[in-house]
Amino acid sequence: MDMEKNTILIADDSQAHLALLLSILGDDYDIVTARRGREAVEKAKEFLPDLILLEDALPEMDGYEAAGILKSMEDTCETPIIFIMGQSNAASERKVLSLGAADTIFKPFDPVIVKLRVENQIKMQNQLRFIKTLSTTDQLTVMPNRRSFDTRIGMEWNRARRDMTQCSILLVDVDNFKIYNDSYGHLNGDTALKVTADIIKDTIKRPGDYAARWGGEEFIILLPATDIDGAMSIAEKIRTSLESTVISILDYLETKITVSIGVNTQIPAQGCSIERFIDEADKALYIAKRTGRNKVCSFVDVKKDERLIG
Evaluated on CA atoms 182, 184, 185, 191, the torsion sign reads negative
Rg (CA), the chain: 26
| DSSP bridge partners of 169 | 222, 264
Rounded (to 5) percent helix, strand, coil in the chain: 50, 20, 30
Q: How far is Cα 264 from Cα 86, in angstroms, rounded to an integer?
A: 58
Q: How far is Cα 64 from Cα 43, in angstroms, rounded to an integer?
A: 16
CA angle 56, 57, 58 (to 5 degrees): 105
Q: How far is Cα 292 from Cα 276, in angstroms, rounded to an integer?
A: 25
Q: How far is Cα 34 from Cα 66, in angstroms, rounded to an integer?
A: 12
Give the Cβ contact number of residue 133 at 10 Å: 11
Closest CA to 243 of 260, 221, 264, 220: 260
217 has catalytic annotation: yes
Element (H, E) at 219: strand 218-224
Q: How far is Cα 170 from Cα 166, in angstroms, rounded to an integer?
A: 14
Rounded to a whole number, what is the distance in angstroms from the first to the last CA of the chain?
59
Q: How far is Cα 192 from Cα 178, in angstroms, rounded to an integer?
A: 12
Evaluated on CA atoms 172, 260, 198, 216, the torsion sign reads positive
Catalytic residue among 55, 156, 217, 218: 217
Catalytic residues: 217
